[in-house]
Amino acid sequence: MKKGELLYQGKAKSVYRSDTPGVLIVVFRDDITAFNGEKKDVLEGKGVYNARVSAFFFNYLEKNGIQTHYLGMEDDRTMAVRELKMIPLEVIARNIAAGSIVKKFPFTEGQPLSPPVIVTDYKNDAAGDPSINDDLIIALGFLTPDELAFVREQTLRINLLLSEFFAELGIDLVDFKIEFGRTDNGIYLGDEISMDSMRLWDQETGESLDKDVYRFGKGDVMSAYARVVERITDEMRGGNA
């Protein structure tokens, strides 16, 4: 598949038109950022890790009834995806209190959240990605009430599937961010599912295995990402995925 016009360049991915109608090409770059781009670096191989993990989880979720934009890998960092009209919302599922929810609300770090808390942010860097409630989402025309209920149901289902999967690897899925988009056939999961978009804690040691390692200078983030990839690879070899 040939890569065409650059359509969008985010903090860590570039999206191109392809020579196939309705199909886009996503390249996972080695860039890593934190704090809305205030901290940034390039880490060799990071894009490959995120592409590999995203491809694995898109496949895993598809097998479990979740429609995603994933179509296949072109190489180890290049993904073919279904073209979506992205909905400008970040949907965050939280199983354990950490990060911004602890700063904004009277939760304690590490506090279990049962049932999971679903938070939605308006995806707009200039506005600082503010939190947005259901009434605003509907008033702005981002989702209808039925679509909003569908996105929430899908998020809870994805959360259950990922939480159970990671638990088998000895990892707590603390929280994660996902995005959705539309086609004429409905709403699909888009963007990525990787260590950049999840918060993961080792169940034995409590160590972070995600981008918090980079954000807060907790050690070698590439080693942390590698440990997640290795555990997933071991699970794949065991035939449980």
pLDDT digits (tens, 9 = 90+) for 57-92: 999 999 999 999 999 999 999 999 999 999 999 999
The CA angle 28-79-158, to the nearest 5 degrees, is: 90
Q: What is the mean pLDDT of residues 106-117?
A: 98
Q: Indicate the pLDDT class of residue 237, thresholds 50, 70 and 90.
A: low
Residue identified by tokens 């999961």 is 189
Write down the residue that tokens 């890998």 correspond to: 73
Same domain, 124 and 204: yes
Identify whether 177 is part of a domain.
yes
> What is the structure's pLDDT at 184?
93
For residues 154 and 78, membership in a common domain is answered with no
- Domain ends where: 56, 82, 108? 82
Question: Residue 240 pLDDT more than 70?
Answer: no
Q: Are residues 92 and 149 in the same domain?
A: yes
Average pLDDT score over residue span 109-124: 97
Residue 33's domain is classified under what CATH number?
3.30.200.20
Q: Which residues pair with 199 in a beta bridge?
A: 175
Tell me: pLDDT of 158 over 70. Answer: yes
**CATH code of 162's domain:** 3.30.470.20
Quote the CA–CA distance of 40 and 221 in Å, as a whole number: 13
Residue 234 located in a structural domain: no
Alpha helix (H) residue ranges in the chain: 46-63, 100-104, 134-139, 145-168, 212-215, 221-237
> What percent of the residues of the chain are helix, what percent strand, and what percent coil, each to the nearest 5?
30, 35, 35
Residues 72 and 90 in one domain: no
82, 112, 128 — which closes off a domain? Answer: 82
One domain, residues 111 and 199:
yes
Lowest mean pLDDT among 13-17, 26-30, 35-39, 181-185: 35-39
Q: How far is the C-alpha of 92 from the C-alpha of 197, rounded, in Å?
A: 9
Q: Residue 228 falls within a domain, yes or no?
A: no
49, 161: one domain: no
User: Residue range 2-13: average pLDDT?
Assistant: 96
pLDDT of 238: 62
Q: pLDDT tens-digit profile of 194-214? A: 999 999 999 999 999 999 999
Kindly state whether residues 103 and 193 are assigned to the same domain: yes
pLDDT for residue 236: 65
Look at residue 233 and tell me if it is in a domain. Answer: no
Q: Are residues 50 and 97 in the same domain?
A: no
Contact between 161 and 155 under an 8 Å Cβ cutoff? The reply is no
Average pLDDT, the chain: 96
Domain-embedded: residue 150:
yes
Shared domain check, 57 and 111: no
178 & 93 share domain: yes
70 plus 16 within the same structural domain: yes
Domain span at residue 103 reads: 85-220
Nearest to 22 by CA among 8, 1, 51: 1
Return the ∠ at Cα 165 (arms to 28 and 116), rounded to 5°. 95
The three-state secondary structure class of 170 is: coil
232 lies in some domain: no
pLDDT band per the 50, 70, 90 thresholds, residue 218: very high
